[in-house]
Amino acid sequence: MDNNPSHILLKGGTLLLHEEHGRVVPRKADLLIRGDRIARIDDDIQPPAASKIIDCAGNLISPGFIDTHRHLWQTQQKGLHCDQILLDYYHSGTVEYHPPLTSASRT
């Protein structure tokens, strides 16, 4: 099989399909991808030859969803806070922590 197939079939998953007015309807179906586009959503799709088939039974598929949540910035902090507990990390981050001013600290 080609390492970069032109078609990918997501087989037997539960698709979260968006209808008008934001309503999401779950549907057990197949999803065929051609290149970088959704080509077809239907029951029991017969994929073209040399397609990559992924068994999605028991999994949710959200067609068209793009995950933009990334933590790339954290790679620069690896090891900086390894000896701290979580609450210390939140307070220190990568900048110096200054406790809030109180009436006693102003005198």
Q: What is the pLDDT of residues 2-14, one digit of tens each?
A: 466 799 999 999 9
**C-beta of residue 43 within 8 angstroms of C-beta of residue 17:** no
Band (pLDDT 50/70/90 cuts) for residue 99 is low
User: 12 and 53 in contact (C-beta within 8 Å)?
Assistant: no
* 5, β-bridge pairs: none
Q: Tell me, what amino acid is at 8?
A: I
pLDDT at 44: 96
- What residues pair up with 9 in beta bridges, in sequence order? 32, 53
CB 12 within 8 A of CB 59: no
**pLDDT tens digits for range 38-71:** 999 999 999 999 999 999 999 999 998 877 776 6
**Confidence (pTM):** 0.60
Asked whether the beta carbons of 26 and 45 are under 8 A apart, the reply is: no
